Structure 1
Amino acid sequence: MQQFPLLISPTKIGNLQLRNRMVMPPMETNYANSDGSVTDRLVAYHEERARGGVGLIIVEASYVHITGKGFKNGLGIYSDRLIPGLRRLVEAVHAHGAKIAIQLFHGGRQAHSEYTGQPLLAPSPIPDPTVGEIPKELSKDEINMLVKAFAEAARRAKTAGFDAIEIHGAHGYLLDEFLSPFSNKRADEYGGSLENRMRFPLEVVRAVRQAVGPEFPIIYRMSADEKVPGGLTLDETKVVARRLEQEGINALHVSAGVYASAQWVIQPMYLPRGCLVDLAQGIKSVVKIPVIAVGRINDPEVAEDILKAGKADLISFGRGLLTDPEMPKKVIEGRLDEIRHCIACCQACIDELFRDHAIGCTVNARAGYEREFTLGRASRPRKVLVVGGGPAGMEVARVAALRGHQVTLWEKSGDLGGQLPLAFTPPQKDEIATFRDYLMGQLAKLQVKVQLNKEATPEAVSQEKPDVVVIATGARPATLNVPGVEADNVVLSWDVLRGKVQVGKKVAVIGGGLVGCETAEYLAEKGHEVTIIEMLPQVAGDIGPLVGAMLMERLKQQVKIITGAKLKAIKGRTITFAYNDREEDLADIDTVVLAIGSRPEDTLAQAMEGSGIDYYVIGDAVSPRRITQAIFEAMRVGHEL
C-alpha cells in the first residue's frame, strides 16, 4: 500500500520492534475492578484493537500507589497480586501480533480522595483549579516512597510480560506537577529552578530504569506546553526532553495541557486535526530518540503527512482507535472508505469519564461491549424493514445486514442522515459529516435496499410483508403554546440550519440548550445580531464540559444571553418574557427562532400496536436523546434480530 509507506512501515523503540508506526495511546476506560484489577471487559477491549492491526498499545494510566488513584475503576499496578490479571491482558494482545506497554501513573493533586481514602499528595499545598481539594505537601520521605512505588510498578510490568513501560509525566499529574511552576512552589531542592523541578521526575526515571534493566524500553509522556498561565512551555520542555534522552529514555510521547486546560489534553472537534503536532516537532528538533505525536489525529492521510514532514516518528490515534479498532488493518489493505472516523464529540468517552462511568464511543457502540455484540451471522436470516434513514436507522440497517439479514430501509425525505446535517451545519462541526458518509457507504457495500421519499404507513408496511420492522422515525421539533407563536416571523431552529427559512438581522433564539446555542452561533457568524432567551439559570446545560466550555467562550463574544427568562408572548417585533418576577420586553426583533427541544415522531410506532408484526422502536422515536443512545440502541437491536 504505497499511499502510506511510512505509516505502515516497521520501526523500533529502543530494541522493541513494532510492525507499524500506529500507536494506541493510554486512554482511561474505567473498565477495571474497583481494586484496580483486570476484568474480562478490559481484556476484550484491548484484544479487539490488537486484532485490528495497531503496532503498539499503551495501556491506560495505571496507579502505582493507592494515593495516586485518579479514577473510580482505574487500572492498578500497585501490588503483586495484580500481576496475573495484567499477564492475561498482555497475552491477549500478543496473540494478535501487537506489542503492549503500560503507563505508570500517580494522580497527585488531580487524583480524588474519594478513591484514595486519604489526602491528595502534591509538591505544594495548592489545589488544582478543577479538583478543588487542598493537597498535602509531600515530605522528602514520602517522595522517596513514591520513587520506590514507581520502580516496583515497573518491576511488576516487566514480570507481567509487557514489552515496554510509559512513565506518565504529563497532563498535570504528579510528575508534571513537580516539573511545572504552575503547581510547584517549593523552596527546597525539589522546587525553584528547572533543574530542581526536574529532580523528582528524574529520580523516578532512574529508579524505573534500575528496576527493569538497561535494555527494557521506557517511554516518557510529557506535556510540551501546559497551555495555562505560568505553566510549562516548549522552551522549557525542550530542555527536559534532552535531559530525559540523556537519562536513557527510549521515546517521548508529546502531548499538552493539564486539567485546567483540559481541551488540550482531549481535543474536541472545535480544534483542528493534528493540533499538537507543532509541539512534537519542537521536541523532535532537540532529540534523536523517537517522538510520538498526538492531538486529534483521526485520519491516516494526516498521519502520513506528519511522518513525511519529519515532525514525528510514530502516530498516536487515540479516540480514532476507540471509534474504529480496525483502522490500521483498513489502512494496510487500502480500505480507506470503510474507516469510521472519530468525530471528537467527547460525548460517550470523555463526558462519561467525567461522570465516573465506563467510557464508550458515540459512533461505535461496540467499544467496551466487544463480547456482548459479536456481530456473527444470524442463525435465522430474516426480512428486515427499517423505517427512518437517520443515524439510528442507518446503523441498525448496517448491523442487521452484517449479520446476514435481508434489509430494506425506507426514508420519508429525499436524503439520508436525519438530524445529522443539523448537527454538522453549525461552525466547526463538519467532522460529524464523516459519520453520515461512513454509514451511507456501508449501506451501499452491504447491499441494503434504500428507498427515499418513501412514507411508511401501516398499509405499506403490511404489503411489504417483513419478518420484523425497526421503527427509527426520529423526532420532530417541539413548539410553544404562547400568544403569537404562529406569526410569520417565528421559525424553527431545524429550518434555520437546513436553510429553509429567511432570517432577519435581529434574532431572538428561544432555548439555550445545545441546538439553541449552536443555532445562535451559526447565525452570529453570518452577521445576525442574536440574543438567546433561556428559562434555566444557565445555557448549554446539556453539553459536556469540554465542548460546552469552548462553545460558551465563543458565544460570549458574539451573542447576548439572557437566562432565567421564560417566553410569555410574541407580538410583532416585540417578545415578552418573565424575568425576576416581572415581565420585560425585547423590541425590534426581526425573527424569533424556536429551539426548545423535540418530541418523538412515534405515529407509526403507535399504529403498529396490535398489527401482529414483530417490531422494535429505537432512537428518538422512543424519546429524543443524544446520538450516543440512538447508536447504542441500533447496535443492540441489530444484534438481537
Structure 2
Amino acid sequence: MQRKYPNLCKPIKIGNVNFRNRMFSAPMGGTDITADCTIGRASTAFYELRAKGGAASVTVSECVVHPETEGSHMYHLDLQTVGSLSSFTYTADAIRRHGAIASVELSHSGQYAGTYLTDKNKKHGLAQWGPSALVRPDGLEVKELTEELISDIVTAYGKCAGLAKRAGFEMIMIHGGHGWLINQFLSPYFNHRTDKYGGPLENRVRFAQAVLDSVRDSVGLGFPIEFRMSGSELFEGGYDLAEGIEIAKLLESRVDLLHVSAGTYQRGFSVTHPSMFLPHGSNVYLAAEIKKHVSVPVATVGGLNDPAMMEEIIATGKADVVEMARALLADHELPRKVMSNRDEDIVKCLRCFTCMAERAVTSTRRCTVNPLIGRELDGVEIVPSSRSCKVLVAGGGPGGLEAAITAAKRGHKVILCEKSDQLGGILKGEQAIPFKYEMYELGVTLGKLAEDAGVEIRLNTLVTKEYLEKENVDALIIAVGSEPLVPPIPGLNGDNVIVVNDYYLEKDKVSDQVVVLGGGQAGCEAAVHLAQEGKTVHLVEMRTELAPDANIRHRPILLKEIENYKIHVHTEYKGLSVTDEGVVCANAAGEEQLVPGTSVICALGQRARRNVVEDLIDCAPYVAQIGDCVKPSTITTAVYQGYHAALDI
C-alpha cells in the first residue's frame, strides 16, 4: 500500500534490533508499584496497551538502579526481592508479543530522591545524594557522593541492565536528562566537584561515560542503548545547546540512539513536557542541531501529536525517531492509525496534564480523552452485546459522543440528538482560543468516529418526553451538559458583556480593555488568550486564589502565564454591577472599586441542567446520566462516564 507518511512508517534498525516504525512510546511511570517496588499487573497492562497500538518501542519507566542512595518509590530490579524479576519478565513479554520492542529506563534521581513519593513528607527521611553537597531550596540537605559510592552506582547500572536483558527487554534507556543524577553531574549548576568528576566538561561527562560502559559490558555489543539527555538545560547557570552538542559528541561512541529532550523537571516542567501554551514540537530544534554533529540516530520528544509534523521531522533529517508519551495516552492506536492512513481518526492529546496530575494525586493514571488509561485491567476490548438495543443519546458533547460511539461498537442501534446545529457541546467554545483548539477538535473527531461507527446523528433536535415516547427506545443516556451561571448582577445582561461559552461567536465585539469576571480555570485561560492578543485585561475573582479548579500540574503553569502577561488580578473582589466603564466591585474591606474595561467576559461557572434530566429520567427502561448534567466537572469525567454508561446497556 501507499503510505501517507512513508518516513514515519519506515522501519529502523538500531544496534542489532529492528523496529517496525519511527514512532516510539517514551517513558511513562507506572502506577501500581508494589510495596516491594515490583511492577504491578495494572502497570503491565498499562504498557501493553501502547504495544497493541502499534508503537515500535515501549519504554517502562523508571527503574531505580541503586536504592541504597535513591529511596524513591519507583521500580527496583534485583534477584533478592520476590517477584521483582518475574514482574519485569511478564511486562517485557506483554510488550513484545504485540510486535513492539520492550525497553526499560534505568534511573537515579540523585538529589531529587523522593520526588515521586505520594507522601511528600517521607522525603525528609531519605538520604539525598548528588555530585556536590548543598541545601535544596526546600531545606533538604544533599550529601556529596564519594568516589566509592559513585563506583557502586556505576556497577549497579550494569547489573540492572543485565537483569533487564535476562527478563526479555531488548533495549535499555539510560536517563541522563531532566535534572536527575547523571544530568546533575553534567550540569555546571549542580556539579561543583574538584576531582575527576568535576570542573571541565570532559570531567563532568565522566560519570555518564562510566555508566554507559558498565551497561555495555553487561548487555554486549549490538544490544541497543538509548541515552536520554537534555539538549539544553534552558536555565541560567545550566549548560546550553552548544555544550549539549559537546556532551552528545563525547557520548555517541557508547550509545546506539541519542534521545534529545529539554530542560529539567525542577526548573522547567512545562518546557520538558510542553504545555498547551507552547507550540507543538517546541523542543525539536535541540535534536535537529545535535543530529548535525553526531553519527548515531537521534530521537526527539515533547508535545508531538500531529503525524504531518512528525513526518516532516523525519523527512527533513531533524531526527530519526519521534517519541511520544501523552499523545499515546490520548490515543494508544495513533501509530496503527498512521500506518493504515487513518490519521483523521486520531484523538489528539489536549496537553491538559490530567495524566500527570492524577498520578500525583491518586497514584493512578487517567487521560481526559481515553477512558481506558489506568484502568486497562478492567478490559480494553468493547465486547458486542448479546442483544441489540435501540439507544438514544441526548446531547452531543464529549460524554454523549463517547457513549454513542461505544454503544454503536457494541452492536446497538444508536441515535444521538443534539439541540444545536453542531456537535461538541461546551467544546465548541474552544475554537477561538488557539492554545485550546485541540479541545474543539476533539468534538469534531468524536463526531466523525460516531458517524463511522454507524450512529444516526440528529442535529437541531431537542429531546423531550414526547419525543422519547415516539422513539420508544430501550436505553437513554442523558448527556445534556450544563449552562453558564449568570447571576442577577445589574448590567450583566448588557451589550458589552459576553458569556465565555459564546466568546467564539462574539469575539469581534471584544474591545482592547477587558474585564474577565470569574477567576476559575475558564476565566483565567480566557484572560491569558485576550492578553496574548495585546488587550489590557483585568481578572476579577471573589475567592482568595485563582483557578482552584485547575489540576495541580496545569494550575502553576496557568498562573505563570497570567504573571508573564501582566494581567491585572483582583482577588477577593465581588462583582456588584456592570457599567459601560467596567465592573463595580466590593473589595475585601467592603469598599466599592471600579475595575475598568469597556468589554466584560462573564466566566462565573456552569450549572447542571437538572431540570432537563428530571423531565427525562423515566423515559426508558435503562436511563443513565453522565457528565455536566450530573454536576459540572471535566471532559475527563464526561468521557469516562459516557464510555461506561454504554458498556452497561
TM range, normalised to the smaller chain? over 0.9
Among 363, 369, 372, the residue aligned to 1:363: 369
Change (3 A) 1:273 1:88: same
**Once structures 1 and 2 are overlaid, which stretch shifts more, 420-429 or 571-580?**
571-580
1:387 aligns with 2:389: no
Q: For the residues of structure 1 that align with 2:343 and 2:595, how far apart are their CA atoms?
A: 53
Q: For the residues of structure 2 that align with 1:226 and 1:586, how far apart are their CA atoms?
A: 44
Q: Which amino acid aligns with 1:254?
A: V
Among 83, 86, 94, the residue aligned to 1:84: 86
Alignment deviations for residues 274-317 of structure 1 (CA, whole Å, 9 cap, x no partner)? 22221111221121111111122212221221111111111112
Instruction: Kindly state the Cα deviation for residue 613 of structure 1 after the two structures are TM-superposed.
Output: 3.3
Q: Which amino acid aligns with 1:111?
A: A
**Equivalence for 2:203:** 196
Q: For the residues of structure 1 that align with 2:620 and 2:52, how far apart are their CA atoms?
A: 43
Q: For the residues of structure 2 that align with 1:83 and 1:138, how far apart are their CA atoms?
A: 28
Alignment deviations for residues 447-474 of structure 1 (CA, whole Å, 9 cap, x no partner)? 1111111111112112211101000000
1:473 aligns with 2:480: yes
Secondary structure of the structure 2 residue equivalent to 1:254: strand
Q: For the residues of structure 1 that align with 2:71 and 2:346, how far apart are their CA atoms?
A: 33
Among 142, 146, 162, the residue aligned to 1:155: 162
Change (3 A) 1:522 1:321: closer
Q: Which amino acid aligns with 1:31?
A: D
**Equivalence for 2:468:** 461
Change (3 A) 1:488 1:322: closer
Q: For the residues of structure 1 that align with 2:332 and 2:595, how far apart are their CA atoms?
A: 54
Change (3 A) 1:68 1:339: farther
Q: Which amino acid aligns with 2:128?
A: L
Q: For the residues of structure 2 that align with 1:625 and 1:141, how far apart are their CA atoms?
A: 53
Q: For the residues of structure 2 that align with 1:68 and 1:353, how far apart are their CA atoms?
A: 24
Q: Which amino acid aligns with 2:77?
A: I
Instruction: Kindly state the Cα deviation for residue 23 of structure 1 after the two structures are TM-superposed.
Output: 0.9
Instruction: Kindly state the Cα deviation for residue 188 of structure 1 after the two structures are TM-superposed.
Output: 2.9
Change (3 A) 1:343 1:485: closer
Written as runs of structure 1 = structure 2, the 5 A alignment for 1:419-430 is: 419-430=426-437
Written as runs of structure 1 = structure 2, the 5 A alignment for 1:159-308 is: 159-246=166-253, 248-259=254-265, 260-308=267-315
**Once structures 1 and 2 are overlaid, which stretch shifts more, 387-396 or 601-610?**
601-610
1:331 aligns with 2:338: yes
**Equivalence for 2:51:** 50
**Equivalence for 1:508:** 515
**Equivalence for 1:59:** 60
Q: Which amino acid aligns with 2:367?
A: C
TM-score, length-normalised on structure 2? 0.93
Contact 2:66–2:108 (CA under 8 A) maintained in structure 1 = yes
Contact 2:184–2:191 (CA under 8 A) maintained in structure 1 = yes
**Equivalence for 2:117:** none
Q: For the residues of structure 2 that align with 1:483 and 1:639, how far apart are their CA atoms?
A: 47
Contact 1:99–1:163 (CA under 8 A) maintained in structure 2 = yes
Instruction: Kindly state the Cα deviation for residue 15 of structure 1 after the two structures are TM-superposed.
Output: 1.1
Instruction: Kindly state the Cα deviation for residue 481 of structure 1 after the two structures are TM-superposed.
Output: 4.1
1:640 aligns with 2:642: no
**Equivalence for 1:354:** 360
**Once structures 1 and 2 are overlaid, which stretch shifts more, 574-583 or 267-276?**
574-583
**Equivalence for 1:21:** 22
**Structure 1, gaps ≥5 residues long:** none
Q: Which amino acid aligns with 2:91?
A: L
**Once structures 1 and 2 are overlaid, which stretch shifts more, 34-43 or 568-577?**
568-577
Q: Which amino acid aligns with 1:125?
A: A
Instruction: Kindly state the Cα deviation for residue 77 of structure 1 after the two structures are TM-superposed.
Output: 2.1
Instruction: Kindly state the Cα deviation for residue 253 of structure 1 after the two structures are TM-superposed.
Output: 0.8
1:620 aligns with 2:631: no
Change (3 A) 1:574 1:218: closer
Among 426, 443, 451, the residue aligned to 1:444: 451
Instruction: Kindly state the Cα deviation for residue 28 of structure 1 after the two structures are TM-superposed.
Output: 1.6
**Equivalence for 1:111:** 113
Q: For the residues of structure 2 that align with 1:326 and 1:447, how far apart are their CA atoms?
A: 20
Change (3 A) 1:159 1:614: same
Contact 1:67–1:121 (CA under 8 A) maintained in structure 2 = no
Change (3 A) 1:522 1:158: closer
Instruction: Kindly state the Cα deviation for residue 44 of structure 1 after the two structures are TM-superposed.
Output: 1.6
Q: For the residues of structure 2 that align with 1:559 and 1:169, how far apart are their CA atoms?
A: 38
**Equivalence for 1:601:** 609
**Equivalence for 1:579:** 587
Secondary structure of the structure 2 residue equivalent to 1:431: helix
1:397 aligns with 2:398: no
Change (3 A) 1:236 1:415: same
Q: Which amino acid aligns with 2:57?
A: L
Secondary structure of the structure 2 residue equivalent to 1:281: helix
Contact 2:432–2:503 (CA under 8 A) maintained in structure 1 = no
**Equivalence for 2:38:** 37
**Equivalence for 1:568:** 576
Q: Which amino acid aligns with 2:238?
A: G
Contact 1:16–1:217 (CA under 8 A) maintained in structure 2 = yes
**Structure 2, gaps ≥5 residues long:** 115-119
Alignment deviations for residues 516-573 of structure 1 (CA, whole Å, 9 cap, x no partner)? 1122233344554321111222323333455444443443325211112222344563
Q: Which amino acid aligns with 1:564?
A: E
Q: For the residues of structure 2 that align with 1:291 and 1:89, how far apart are their CA atoms?
A: 26
4+ residue segments displaced more than 6 Å: none
Secondary structure of the structure 2 residue equivalent to 1:384: strand
TM-score, length-normalised on structure 1? 0.94
Secondary structure of the structure 2 residue equivalent to 1:576: strand
Alignment deviations for residues 582-612 of structure 1 (CA, whole Å, 9 cap, x no partner)? 3131165433332111110122211234456
Among 585, 600, 620, the residue aligned to 1:592: 600
Identical pairs, percent: 36
Q: For the residues of structure 1 that align with 2:71 and 2:487, how far apart are their CA atoms?
A: 45
Q: For the residues of structure 2 that align with 1:464 and 1:7, how far apart are their CA atoms?
A: 47
Q: For the residues of structure 2 that align with 1:311 and 1:379, how far apart are their CA atoms?
A: 51
Contact 2:476–2:620 (CA under 8 A) maintained in structure 1 = no
Alignment deviations for residues 347-396 of structure 1 (CA, whole Å, 9 cap, x no partner)? 2x122233352222111111222231431111222111100001111111
Q: Which amino acid aligns with 1:4?
A: Y
How many residues are aligned here?
637
Secondary structure of the structure 2 residue equivalent to 1:243: helix
Contact 1:10–1:17 (CA under 8 A) maintained in structure 2 = yes
**Once structures 1 and 2 are overlaid, which stretch shifts more, 503-512 or 169-178?**
503-512
Contact 2:515–2:596 (CA under 8 A) maintained in structure 1 = no
Alignment deviations for residues 446-505 of structure 1 (CA, whole Å, 9 cap, x no partner)? 111111111111121122111010000000111234454455544422223432783444
**Once structures 1 and 2 are overlaid, which stretch shifts more, 617-626 or 233-242?**
233-242
Change (3 A) 1:232 1:525: closer
Written as runs of structure 1 = structure 2, the 5 A alignment for 1:489-568 is: 489-499=496-506, 502-544=509-551, 546-556=553-563, 557-568=565-576
Alignment deviations for residues 318-359 of structure 1 (CA, whole Å, 9 cap, x no partner)? 222222222222222222222222222222x12223335222
Alignment deviations for residues 167-198 of structure 1 (CA, whole Å, 9 cap, x no partner)? 11011011111110122222333222212211
Q: For the residues of structure 1 that align with 2:343 and 2:140, how far apart are their CA atoms?
A: 47
Among 115, 119, 130, the residue aligned to 1:122: 130
